[in-house]
Structure formats: C-alpha cells, structure tokens
Structure 1
Amino acid sequence: MAGCLGAVLLLPAVPAFAHEGDEAAEPAASAPAASAFSEDFDALTTALGPSVHETHIPKSTLGWTPTAPSGWTVSNEASMGVKGKSEWRGWTFATPSFWTAAQGGQGREDFTKGSGVIAVADNDEWDDGNNPGEQLFASTLASPAIPVTGGSTVHVNFDSNYRQTGPQVAALEVSFDGGAPQRLFEYSTAVLGDQVYLQNRTLTQPVAVPQGAASMQVSWVIEQATNDWYWAIDDVSVDAAPRAGAESPLPKPGPQPSDVPAGISDRKVLFIDFDGVRFDKLEEYATPNIDALAAEGQIGVGYMQDNALGPTVSGHGHANLLSGVWVDKHRSPDNNFTNPNIEAYPDFLTRLEQVNPGFSTFSTADWKPLNDHLILRPDVKLQQTGASAAATDAQSVEDAVEVLGTRDPDAMVVYLHNGDATGHAYTAESPQYRTTIETLDQQVGRLVDAIRARATYSEEDWLILASTDHGFTGYGHGGDQHLTRMIWTLASGGDVPATGAATSQWRQVDIAPTVFRHLGVAIDPAWGLEGVPIGTASTDPFDTVAGSLRAVVDEPAKPAYSGGWTKQAPEGWAIDERTPAVGVSEYRGWSFMDGEFWATSEEGQGRGSFVRARDVVAVADPDEWNDLGNPAGSGARFDSTLYSPWQPVRPGGAVDVSFLQHYRHMTAGVPQHAEVVAEFDDGTSQVLWSRDGATQGLLFEVNQPVALSTVAPDGDVSRVRIGWRLSDGGNNGYWAIDAPAIRADAAVAPTVSASIADGALLRGKADVTMTVAGEQLEAFHAQLYTADGSQVPSVKGYQWAPTTDSLTLPAVDFGALADGRYTFVFSAKSRNGLRDELKVGVVVDNSRPELEITVADGRVALVASDAVGLRRAAVNLYDAGNARLLKAVGSTPAATPIATAEWAGDWALPTGLAAGTYTARAAVTDLAGNTRTVTATVTVP
C-alpha cells in the first residue's frame, strides 16, 4: 500500500517544535523506531499520464498525474481555476525525470533523493503557460489522519527539494483531531531571505502531540507564489525519532557582529556592493553622501559583458566584483551556479584570509546565493533575513555600523539589495526607484559617519569602494542593453587620486586588486587577477588618442557615456587603408573608439563582451561599415591594416607580440580574412596568426588575450613592425584589439671603455687603449681635444672593420703638449647604426713643482707648490759632496698624498752629528709624478 497506518505507541521526545538552531537527534542504533505512517507516492505510477502543456515532453512519456494517493488531498486556491500549466496546477505528482524535463538548469535535477513518483508544487513552471497573468499560486497537500498518542512527541520525516525567491511562502502545518492547523515552520523571504536553495535534503520536524489527541494531519503549504520556483517532497514518514541523517528544516543561527575579531592593519577597506543601481540615476537624484566620497576620490562608468559571455544578472556581476576575474574564469554565468570555479578565484575577503588569517574580514548580505556561492570564508558572514530588501538593507547597515563602532575590522563588504528589488517591482524610471536610491545614499552616509566616529580613525587609512553588479532597463536586466551593461565604480581614500571624475573606465574586476594594494598585499601572478588597482595610469598606446575622439557622423546618435571615435592613429602607428570611401565613416577601415561607442553601434552581436579591453580600442568592423548603402552588395570589400611603429630588432632576435582581441566571423562560407603579420625592413614578412571565414566557417573568439612569437631573419635586418590586417570583409564580422605590446630583441649597442680614467694626470709618453664590447662592430675612433674643443692632430686613431675588440694609441707623447685640460673622445659604431661614445677628461702636466729649502737652528724647512697638486716631500742628509746618503731627515707619508697646491714643513736634523759640513737634499713630487730636487749646505760646528 502507498500509505501505511498503524496503532503504534510513539515515544515522547523533545523539543516539541523545531526552530532555528535545532539539531536533529539520531535514533538509537540498538532500537530503530517503527514508522506510524509512511508514503512514497510510488503507488501512483499506474495513474501517470502524458504531458498537456509541457509540449516539448513527448506524449509517449507518462510522467505526471493530478490525482493524490488514497487519503491524501490537494486543495488549490479557487482563483487559480484552470490557469497555468495543467501539469503543475497546485500540488501534483510526477516522476523526477518528467519534472526535470520541464526545465533544466534550475536545480530540479538535483533531487536525487526523490525516486519513483514525487509530490511537486512548481509555481515557476505553472506560471510559464496558459496565461496565469497576475494570478498567485496557492496549494496545500494534506496527509490522511495519522493515529498518534496524546502527550508524545513524533517526528515528521521527509525528503525535500526547495527553491524560493520573491514572495513565495512555504510551510509545514499540523492539525489534531480535525482542529485548526498550526504552522510548524515557514520558508519565506522574511525567514530565510531572498533566493534560497535548500535542495536534496532529508528533513525532520518534531511535533508535540497534545494530551488527549488521537490523530494528526500534516500539510505542506505553498502560498503567495508566482514565477518564483518550487517545492518537491518524497518518502514521507511519521516516526518516534528523527530519520538517520535528517536535519532541521531551518538553518542554524549565523554569527553576529560581536564575533568580528580584532584586525592587524591600520589601512582598512569598506566595499559597498550595490545591486542594480544605475549611474545615470545617481547623477540625477540627490545623493550627497556618494557625491562627497567621489569629490574626495573618483567615480565613473565602466561596462560589464553582454550575453556573449553571460547575461547581465547578479550572479556573475557580483562574482566579477568580488573575485577580480571575468566570467569565463570564475564560471558563474548566471544565478544558478551550476559549475562555478570560485574556489580557484575566491572573493577578496577569502583571499585575504588565505594570505594572512590575521586579517579581520566581515560581510553582510541578504541575497543568499551571494553567501552560499560567492563570499566563501571571511571571519564573519552575516545572512540577513526579513520581509523586504528595504528591511534587510537596513539591518545590514545597522550591523555594519555596530562592527565599525565596537570592533576592529580590516576589510568589510556591505551588500545593499533594494535598488534591484525596487527596479524589478517599479522600473528604474519610477518615483519609487528614486526614493530607494536616495535612501541608499543616506545609508552610505551612516556607514561613512560610523567610520569617522571610530576612536582610532585618526590613526587609520580608510579606502571606501562602491560599485554595482548590473544596471537596469525597464523592469529588468539580463540583456545586452547599454543601460543594463553600464556599471559604475567609486573609490575614495587611500592612494586613489582625488580627481572627482574617474581617470579610466574602471571595471568590476578592478575592485579586488584595489583592495589588495591598499592593504599592502602583494598580488601573486598565480592568482590570475584581471583587473588593475584603481588609479593606475594607462600604458596603452591607443588611450593616447582619447582627446581626439569625436561624435557620430553616419552612426545614429549614441546614448550617454558612450564616448566617440577617431581615425587619428597614436604616434608612430599607421593605417594602410584600402577600403573604398563608402559605407559608414566611423567604420571605414581601422578606427579608434571608445569600446562602448562600438558596443552600442549594434547590440546583440557580442561587441559588448570585449571587457578585458578598456577606454580606447582599435576596431575593424566590416559588418557596421556595410550598414550604409550596402557597399559589399555592390562588390566593395573592406581591406585595412593597422601597423605598429617600427622598432629595432637584431638578426635572429626574438619578437614577442601580445594584445587583447575580440574577433568574430558571423556568416559561414563568406570570405573574411584576418591576419597578424610581422614585417621586417629587409622586405620580408611572417604571418603570426590568421583566420579565414571561407574555410573555417563561423568563428567567435570572445574577449581573449593573445600572445604570439617569431624570430627575425638573419641578414640585413634592423627593424620590425606588426600589422593587423582585416581584408575581404563585407557584412559578416568584426575585429577589435587593445593593449598591444611588442618586444623585440634589439641589436646590442657597442659599449666603450678606456685604459685611462676620467681626471687622469698624464705626462711623458704612455699607451692609451679603448676597448669595445658589442656585435656587428663597424668602426672605432679615438681623438684628443683641447679645452677649447680643438683637435690635437697628433693624438688620434681610427679603425674600420675591426678584427679585435680594442684600439690602442701607442706611446702618446704627452710631454710634447702644453700643460692643461684635454678631453679624449672614444667612439664605436655597429653596422646596425647603433653607437656608443665615451668622453674622458684628462690633465697634461709636464711641469715640475717649485721647492725652497732653508736650514737654521738645527732644522730643515721646505716650502713647495704646484698648480696641479703635490704628492710627497722628503729630506735626506748626505756627505759634503752630496754623494753618500747618511741619514733620512723626514718625509710626508708615502700612502697619503699631500693633495694641495702649496705645502710647508720642517724636520729636525739628526742629533749626534760630528762637526763638519753636510748636504741636505730635498725632493718634492707632484700628483702627475714630476719631481723637483734642491740642496742646501749644513754646517755642524
């Protein structure tokens, strides 16, 4: 039988009602509880019929029935009538495969605990057909009367697969002996928050049976529901104890603001993560707090990807912001998170904890998928619940203010949801949206005030960041529209330049690296981050023409914040234009334009997903070119090549090219050819990359970094340039590039050194040698110049096609030159035209110093002078004939030059000299090595 009733004595247990935080008790292994009642719905297999409104499910598939099991009842709100899809009109019964086939990718397939036949209330699928309009879904599935024993506690156990968003309310109710129902637990936005996935769980709910009660009825209720998902159950039983492995229906209570630990940094970050707040409305409405932050930092628009990478929805918008990488890396392309890669690219709070667990990290949010899938492991993660996004935003702000006032966080994320909720309910053009935006600004003011009220604020350096996950068009988002893709970024404080207006189109992926830079965390290249810290100066050559962008010519008027275009190439760049002077002027060959100018030329064709690029990009778009007059229809073809500047390269040297690109060929079999070419000044060229629409068919290389390499040919090669050519184009595709970087192994310039040092003192004759290091050496030259720049004809040398690495001027006769300052100029050049020159200043000094000697009172005194400087002075005592050294009288230290132009000193004559006549011989040497010797007679009485 599908249902089993029995008069089994049910043992008492506590607690009587499950509430947040209850733990499910495990049944005793030695005494398994008998089931008073069970139902698996599998007896309905023979009642299953074919699809009615689910027309994509084959009629041969018998997979559903509206008929409840014996004793069970389904009660629908009368106003539902025959609206909506028949298969899901209130609680119905279906096989898991039939239910999953109704619509994939929304978690129905996750209910692996369900088997055979399951009970399903799917208001999402019900709303998808047969015109339910504004009708709300309300349905109750009630069990038969189940015998119980008064005063006992029983457990309702069942498998459950539940999803909710919006106003949907789900509940488990019980009534005794036909009395009024009592609500045991409730799922709703007020209890759980928005967008909650409680899937494939085994639940246990304790029920206190009143004294004297003999039976109870259990009901599964869904009410106030529209297109906001489902509840499926299976394997229901009523037991004396919880089923093994079962859990409480409601999640445990989360952490509190008081749990935030003490931080380690006096540099701190607050990121305010807005949902669905449009930049144009920030400018239009009264937002004084955001305006004040912008004035102290900068604010401006950027753009998120279009549907070529993923729809403009919250899941990947917040993932972009928190992880610092784009959707094709973090793999959160929508709100389902079916195959995410977030562990590889975690949110910046989790990354901070990985780098240093001492960081104090905190987040607060009401959107449950944000906490379940994107914000992984900060120290404290608050899950807000409430009746509305306005209420949960207020609670998030209160809790963040408490943290700022009582704790010491290093990095905080405060998510504010109500912009999105109001936009969906009333549109972003409504008065209600204005009220919400201005309220959000007031909440920003509260957060800023709380920061500035901190007792330690004067010792701290706060960076405040804010952005949004997407924009809005009408009631919604998710498409390629300009207003939906337009996001904005605010950065204030820290090292961000206070320019007011943003200095670049800061992207969502720039938030994470900005946080890391401010907190002094070195960004590991292995993290694969794709943003840059806000305020980073551009090195992209294309951005240098930003001041030359102009308005539309042939294009329709552009929406605000779309920028402009120009044919003016950056300095050194060139365009070889062979496209006929027809078609849309803006796209007549390669042009430079704001990426959003290009994206808004035709939405829906993937142009808006070139988000790794920013600011000015180079665009070749034959599809848009052809939109004026259909020149391709008359045989005209798009043919344009963008060339980089020439730059040096040596024969056989490596050439490396990197750039970002967004390439598409949209029409199979139509010839469009693209290639990247390296051209060398010897007339040769090499194709580094190519695509051909005629042979390769449809191509879409979305938002890709490209790296190419080659080697210059041997021979007479000294320069290289790179060309991007799009040819044979018509109404069939486009190509955009950005951030080109070209590195070539240039020829090495010769390096000259000399055997004499700058400032050398020269006299007499000496060899002078220059030595050259380098390759492809062509000529050496050496020349001496006087102080007035005249050549000294006798001192020069030249060598063509040198066979050694040096040039020597042998035995240069400096003694034949007048004393004074001279300059040697040594130079060398290579066959590639590179050269090096070395200038060495020297002093020629062939003059001896002046020296006077005086002998008196038993002492010998010397006075010496020299224009260049003195090195050493000494006096020795000789015999009367000045032939035989008798004794040293005195000298200056040999290791320490006198180093002045004038010097005087004296020494005592040796004692004990016999009476007679002697000779005192004195000598002084200058710094150049010139020596003067003088003598004096010494008489000893």
Structure 2
Amino acid sequence: MRKHAVAASAAAVLLGISGVCAGSAANATPTGAPVPTDAPRTPKTLVIGVDGASFDVLEQAETPSIHALQQGGLTATSNLPASPMAPTVSGAGWSTIATGVWPDKHRVTDNNFTNPNYAQFPDYLTRIEQAAPQRSTFVVGTWGPISTTVFGSAVDERVQGKNDADTTAKAVERLSTGNPDDVFVHLDEVDGAGHSTGSSSAAYRAALKTADQQIAKIVGAVEQRPDYANEDWLIVVTADHGHTPTGGHGGASRLERKTFVIAKGAEFAAGSTRDDVRIADIAPTVLAHDGIARKTDWELDGEAVNDIVPDDFDALRPKLRGAVDEKGLVGITGWTNEAPEGWTVDNSKMPTGGSTEFRGWTFMTDDFFSNAELGQHRENNVRSRNVFAVADSDEWDDVSPKSSRNFDSTLVTPEYPLNGAATVDISFVSDYAVDDPQGAGVRVSFDEASGLQPQKLVDYPANGTRANPVNQVEHFSYELPRDAKGRLPKSIRLNFSYSGINSAFWAIDQVRVSQPDAPTPDPAAIAVSAPSVAAGSAVTVTGTGFAPGEQLALELHSTPVSLGTATADASGTLSQRVTIPASAPAGAHTLVAKRADGSEVAIPLAITAAPGTGANGSTGSGANGTAAGNGTAAGGSVGSGANGANGATAAGAGTDAQGTAGAKGDGLAVTGASDPAGIVILGAALLALAGVGIAFGTGRARRTAA
C-alpha cells in the first residue's frame, strides 16, 4: 500500500558495533582511544529501518555495508502476520518494531493510525525516557509518521527528513556533533522503488544499493565518534515488510511477509544466524542492552534476543523434511512427524490417509505452516518461534477426494518431576482457530504411583469463527491434587488433545513447566503427654513435621524395646497412645520415633516403679501394722509398715537415704528408717526432665521441575 508520496519506513535493528563496515567511509581507525579504566563502556543503540526492503533481494544486491554487519553479528529472518491481524503495511510493521508487541495489542492495522494503543504499549524510546530520563534519545525519519506518531513526544528529539539523503545527513550530524544514546533512523526510498517497479526490478536493487551507502555513512559517524572506544554500541538493521516482484505489499505472500533482523554488538557472535528471532524482539533487545529491566506489566510479546530460550521442538530443525502431499510447498523444508525426545504422539484414533504432513500432531516451521494455504489465519501464529507443534484437521483433510473424517490426536509431554511444592506453573504459546465444530483441551496426568486421575487444565471453545479465539501465551498456576493420604504426586505430564472434522487448527509452542521452591518443613519433633510415667502405664506420643502418611516405629531406649508404630496424617502430625512395659526399670529413658530412612526423633522420658511394689518388687508389712501412705524407694519399690524399715510409707510421706519413707505405728508421720536426722529429700528428681523433642537426621533433598 503506497503511503503519501513516499514509501513506508523500514524497521531498524539494534546492534552493538565493534568494527568498521566494509565499504563504509569509516574505514579509518576510530579516533577515540581506549581509556584504561575499570569503568564499563557506555551502552548506546542505533536502529536503522529500511522501508520495504525484501531480504531475499537484499542478500543478492550490492550492499557491502549491510553484509559487513551480517558478517560481524547476527542475521535472523522471520514472517509478519497478515490479515485479519494486520495487512503487511508500514503502520503495523513499524509499530511492532517500536513497541515490541504484535498488531493485536498495539492496534495499528493501517497507515492512518485509526485506533492505536500506544498509551498501553509505547515505543521503546519512550520507555527509555521513563526509566532513564538522563539518556538522550533521537529519531529521524523520511516518512512523517515515524517522528510524529510511532515514536511519542517523550523522545528528546524527533526530526523528519525531506528525503533519505536529508535523513542520513541529519543522523550523521547528530551522531558526529552531539551525544545521543539511543537513535532510530528511517529510510523510505527503497519502498518507493518497490511500489514503482517491483522488487524484481533493477531500480529496486539500485535503491537498496543507495540505502546501503547511506547506512555506511551513519555507521561511519558512530565509529568516528571521539569517545567511540569507550562506548558499547548495538546496531540493528531491519525492515517493516517486503514487496511483490511486480510491486506493492499488504498481502500475505512470502515475499511481502518476510522481514529480517541484522544486529551487531558485543552480545552477538560474528556471522551467527538464528531461526527464532522476530522483529518484535528489537525493542526488548534495545532495552536490555541499555540495562533497563523489563517489567511484567509491560506485556511485551518480544524478548531480548539473548533471553530467548530454545524449546524441545526447536531441536527438531535438523530433522525437518520437504513436502510430500502439500504440492504448494514444494521446495520448503519445514516439517516432521518425529516427536522430540521424551514427547509422544497418540494417533490411535486417527483414520488412515489424509495429508502426510498433517496427520495427527506434527512439527513445523512458520514458512511451511503459514504458507500451506494462505488466508486461513495460519499467518497469525506470530508468537510461536522456530519449530512448533501443529494439529490441523482442515489441511489434513484437504486431499483429493475430501473425506470429512474425524481428526483425533493427542500430544503428550515428557514427565516433569515435581519438587514437593503444592502448585505448578504451566505456560505455552497457543494459537487456536475454529471453523466447523471441533474440540481441544489440555489435561494434566500424574505418576502412576500417585493413583490420581487426569484433571482438566483448560478446554477451548468447540464452535465459532476461524478468527482466532485464542492467540496468546497461556499462563496457569495449577494447584496439585493430593491422594487420600494427603500426598502430592511426584510428577506430571501434559496432554494436548485436538479433534475435528475438516475444521481449523491448533498450534502450540514453548511449553514450560516450573514450580516455586518447595516450602521448608519444620523439623520433625515428638512430645509426650507427661514427662514421667510409671512402668506398666500408658502415655500419649504426639509429633509434627513428618511427611504425610509417614510410618514410624516407636521404641523405648537405651536398650530398644518396641512400643508399636504410628502413622502421620495428611498434615504430617501424629498422635499415638503407647504402654510402657511393666518390666521397664525405673530411671531416665528416651522415647524414640524411628523413620524409614533410619533417622530418629527422640524425647527424654522418666519411668517410675509400678505402684505397690517394695524394695524387691514386692509388698510387705511392718511389725506394728500397715501405714496409710505410699513412698518410693531408690530401687523403685513401694512398701508399708509401722516403722518403715523396708521403705514403707505411712500417713505422711517421707523419703530416707535409701529412698524409703515410713511412719510409726501410731500413725504419726516421721522420716527415715529409724533415725530422723538421716533424712534426704529426693522427691521428684526424675520429674525435672523436660518434654522437649530432639531430632536426628531429618534433612531431605529437593528437586525442581524441568
């Protein structure tokens, strides 16, 4: 679509520059000498956008400066969305480059900027001004909306060039005499040539050559800055859309949708290429280079390039194949039905036949998937990267003759181990389109030992229009179920199931499963209902901090004597009544809870003699009759007698040197066997033992989900 009297502006990619562009006027050694210092170099960025530049033509054109940037840094190609998200026009393309979000968020779908959402999704220079107002920002562009609309009023300086030569001169002057930190330059005349003569023309290639010479001057101005050696430049070159061979853009063809990011900087390896970088990543990459922390509530679609993490599907790229039944995709290598390691595809309910490339869940690139049949919304799968998974009942059934058979396939993830936390975080890119009735959903299944049945994570609508009802990164915080004993599962899998009869499709990518740190349990401990108990009597043992359902052996030490077992409940607590053997000797003991791993949790327990026993464990009587009181001898016996000669207790309790108590026959309480002066009070010496538990070896390992 032609804009005003000039072509649409091209998006520039940020790049950190460290060398001189071949063919540049800046082949001289930079004048700024390194300053010996431990101080970091100042981060600076330059993004140059070449409007309407077709990458396939640019690669073959005489563009040495751009090729030098490629050789010194990163090259990545990708595709734009198409209608209904947005046609391939400059307003949409530049807005994606500037904001880091796709048109369904920034809402620029034409060159009139009818309903932009820049308030929520401002350009990256505005975000820089908000986060680091001391930085100097500068925009110059040949197409008017670049400096008046796409980049907002918060930018320090916004200038419009009369033509690309004037735009270049203004950029060179500002870089040479000023001290800008973040610069965006837009060159427009390649797009004009594309509109006039098409991307296959000599005039188009000549326009690319001119733009390359202008880029050389701009990059040369950077390299000749007096303090260049102490600056950390990121330089990016990009485009907002391509062109058809005969001229024009706005449609969904491969040549119109293909764009690129060329970036040179310290963060990129020389001569590197990537298949997972898109133009929405330019803004986040600039912000990261400047050290500006990305905020979650910005809701950016793009990622800083070095923050993009390949997923399991991307490992399939070396295994991609050429078309078999999809005759319109001959020459494109971009699909496989081989699942990644650990993943499985259940096609047990799939009929035979249909398109080989789309039978059940298969794995594809955007070039293959989106070009299978244009105009059916596959072009809008912009949040997937590199290789992704596809279930497409429409394209599978579009073989001659059509059979209207039921597509039914399930994609199953690897097993993700869990760490003991009660929740799990699940995310994945989901692009789901509906035509005729179909079904799609995600189920969570658990390790077999847990005995838990699969549970629903999400279901998608079965009816609707092909307009994508879901095209986003899904995020779920999922609360894990527990079994009947309160135990959490040890692992999960995700099951992506899709069925439909010649309906539409579902594409997923970047499946991530993670967990918060498992809560650190309180140390296991036990307590007893009384610090002292008589032999033959019962005591209640309670405990906390154990694993749900954990079984423990209860023992009396020092010489171990079994007291039975106890089982912790769902909260890790226990309560068990145990009986102390009647034969247990009086004195200080330890009650122990022995765990399955051999570790022990213990607490002191005092044991007294069983009631009614004498010095030798028997009951006796004195010469002068039976006393009314009880007393305990050092040997743990209880006796009775008029004089307490055998340690008997009379009406008033007292203890002699051997631990006996007695009373005279007349019932008057005295202490001692026969000499009151020999009295020593032992009373409740054993009762002073505290009921505090002591834990042994309770540490447990923790695993984090993949």
**Where on the TM-score scale, by shorter chain, does this alignment land: which range?**
0.5 to 0.7
Q: Equivalent residue for 1:480?
A: 252
Query: Partner letter of residue 568 of structure 1?
Result: E
Helix, strand or coil for the counterpart of 2:468?
A: strand
Tell me, yes or no, if structure 1 residue 369 matches structure 2 residue 369: no
More strand by share: 1
2:231 and 2:563 map into 1 onto residues whose CA distance is 66
1:795 and 1:565 map into 2 onto residues whose CA distance is 67
Tell me, yes or no, if structure 1 residue 596 matches structure 2 residue 373: no
Query: Partner letter of residue 274 of structure 1?
Result: V
Q: Equivalent residue for 1:165?
A: 4
Q: Equivalent residue for 1:705?
A: 473
Helix, strand or coil for the counterpart of 1:535?
A: helix
Shift of 1:689: 2.5
With the length of structure 1 as denominator, give the TM-score of the two structures: 0.51
Query: Aligned runs of 1:864-883 on 2, under 5 Å?
Result: none
2:300 and 2:175 map into 1 onto residues whose CA distance is 29
Q: Structure 1: where are the runs of 5+ without partners?
A: 1-105, 107-123, 125-163, 167-188, 196-263, 386-391, 755-770, 782-793, 807-825, 830-834, 839-941
Q: Equivalent residue for 2:512?
A: 741
Query: Aligned runs of 1:754-833 on 2, under 5 Å?
Result: 774-776=546-548, 778=550
Give the conservation status (yes or no) of the 8 Å contact 1:644–1:723. yes
Helix, strand or coil for the counterpart of 2:427?
A: strand
Give the conservation status (yes or no) of the 8 Å contact 1:299–1:500. yes
Give the conservation status (yes or no) of the 8 Å contact 1:540–1:740. yes
Query: Partner letter of residue 776 of structure 1?
Result: P
Helix, strand or coil for the counterpart of 1:435?
A: helix
Q: Structure 2: where are the runs of 5+ without partners?
A: 10-39, 526-542, 554-558, 575-592, 601-706
Q: Equivalent residue for 1:491?
A: 263
Q: Equivalent residue for 1:639?
A: 408
Shift of 1:649: 5.3
Shift of 1:655: 4.3
CA shift digits 1:567-610 (9 cap, x unpaired)? 22223222111212311111000011112210011111110111
Q: Equivalent residue for 2:219?
A: 448
Query: Aligned runs of 1:383-398 on 2, under 5 Å?
Result: 383-385=160-162, 392-398=163-169
Change (3 A) 1:723 1:409: same
2:8 and 2:221 map into 1 onto residues whose CA distance is 27
Q: Equivalent residue for 1:379?
A: 156
Tell me, yes or no, if structure 1 residue 659 matches structure 2 residue 498: no
Q: Equivalent residue for 1:507?
A: 278
Helix, strand or coil for the counterpart of 2:274?
A: coil
Q: Equivalent residue for 2:607?
A: none
CA shift digits 1:178-204 (9 cap, x unpaired)? xxxxxxxxxxx7xxx999xxxxxxxxx
Helix, strand or coil for the counterpart of 1:714?
A: coil
Helix, strand or coil for the counterpart of 1:690?
A: strand
Change (3 A) 1:457 1:579: same
Aligned match of 2:495 in 711, 723, 732?
A: 723
Give the conservation status (yes or no) of the 8 Å contact 1:563–1:593. no
Shift of 1:657: 2.8
Query: Aligned runs of 1:25-44 on 2, under 5 Å?
Result: none
Change (3 A) 1:511 1:575: same
Q: Equivalent residue for 2:47?
A: 271
Which range moved further: 717-726 or 282-291? 717-726
Change (3 A) 1:358 1:323: same
Change (3 A) 1:797 1:720: farther
Give the conservation status (yes or no) of the 8 Å contact 1:751–1:836. no
Q: Equivalent residue for 1:420?
A: 191
Q: Equivalent residue for 1:439?
A: 210
Shift of 1:661: 1.2
Tell me, yes or no, if structure 1 residue 674 matches structure 2 residue 448: no
1:797 and 1:337 map into 2 onto residues whose CA distance is 82
Query: Aligned runs of 1:140-289 on 2, under 5 Å?
Result: 165-166=4-5, 266-289=42-65
1:360 and 1:665 map into 2 onto residues whose CA distance is 48
Tell me, yes or no, if structure 1 residue 688 matches structure 2 residue 457: yes
Shift of 1:745: 7.5
Aligned match of 2:299 in 520, 524, 528?
A: 528
Q: Equivalent residue for 1:245?
A: none
Helix, strand or coil for the counterpart of 1:684?
A: coil
Change (3 A) 1:448 1:722: same
Give the conservation status (yes or no) of the 8 Å contact 1:649–1:746. no
Q: Equivalent residue for 2:21?
A: none
Q: Equivalent residue for 1:229?
A: none
Query: Partner letter of residue 442 of structure 2?
Result: V
Query: Partner letter of residue 394 of structure 1?
Result: A
Helix, strand or coil for the counterpart of 2:307?
A: coil
Shift of 1:618: 0.7
Shift of 1:454: 1.3
Query: Partner letter of residue 399 of structure 1?
Result: K
Change (3 A) 1:340 1:273: same
Change (3 A) 1:573 1:796: farther
Change (3 A) 1:450 1:740: same
Q: Percent identity?
A: 36
Helix, strand or coil for the counterpart of 2:550?
A: strand
Paired residues in the alignment total: 518
CA shift digits 1:149-203 (9 cap, x unpaired)? xxxxxxxxxxxxxxx822xxxxxxxxxxxxxxxxxxxxxx7xxx999xxxxxxxx
Helix, strand or coil for the counterpart of 1:312?
A: coil
Give the conservation status (yes or no) of the 8 Å contact 1:651–1:712. no
Give the conservation status (yes or no) of the 8 Å contact 2:434–2:466. yes
Q: Equivalent residue for 2:687?
A: none
Give the conservation status (yes or no) of the 8 Å contact 2:388–2:508. yes
Query: Partner letter of residue 261 of structure 2?
Result: T
Tell me, yes or no, if structure 1 residue 309 matches structure 2 residue 85: yes
Shift of 1:708: 3.7
CA shift digits 1:97-138 (9 cap, x unpaired)? xxxxxxxxx9xxxxxxxxxxxxxxxxx9xxxxxxxxxxxxxx
Tell me, yes or no, if structure 1 residue 575 matches structure 2 residue 345: yes
Change (3 A) 1:709 1:523: closer
Tell me, yes or no, if structure 1 residue 298 matches structure 2 residue 74: yes
With the length of structure 2 as denominator, give the TM-score of the two structures: 0.67
Q: Equivalent residue for 1:352?
A: 128
Q: Equivalent residue for 1:98?
A: none
CA shift digits 1:5-37 (9 cap, x unpaired)? xxxxxxxxxxxxxxxxxxxxxxxxxxxxxxxxx
1:592 and 1:606 map into 2 onto residues whose CA distance is 18
1:566 and 1:513 map into 2 onto residues whose CA distance is 32
Change (3 A) 1:550 1:774: farther
1:335 and 1:837 map into 2 onto residues whose CA distance is 72
Change (3 A) 1:608 1:531: same
Give the conservation status (yes or no) of the 8 Å contact 2:148–2:158. no
Change (3 A) 1:644 1:800: farther
Q: Equivalent residue for 1:841?
A: none
Indicate the structure (1 or 2) with the bigger Cα radius of gyration: 1
Change (3 A) 1:194 1:688: closer
Shift of 1:837: 9.2
1:502 and 1:772 map into 2 onto residues whose CA distance is 57
Shift of 1:557: 5.5
Q: Which has the higher contact order (CA 8 A, sep 6+)?
A: 2
Give the conservation status (yes or no) of the 8 Å contact 2:8–2:90. no
Helix, strand or coil for the counterpart of 1:632?
A: coil
Change (3 A) 1:461 1:746: closer
Query: Partner letter of residue 426 of structure 2?
Result: V
Q: Equivalent residue for 1:324?
A: 100
Query: Partner letter of residue 494 of structure 2?
Result: I
Query: Partner letter of residue 115 of structure 2?
Result: N
Shift of 1:516: 0.9
1:489 and 1:286 map into 2 onto residues whose CA distance is 18
Give the conservation status (yes or no) of the 8 Å contact 1:649–1:747. no
Tell me, yes or no, if structure 1 residue 554 matches structure 2 residue 325: yes
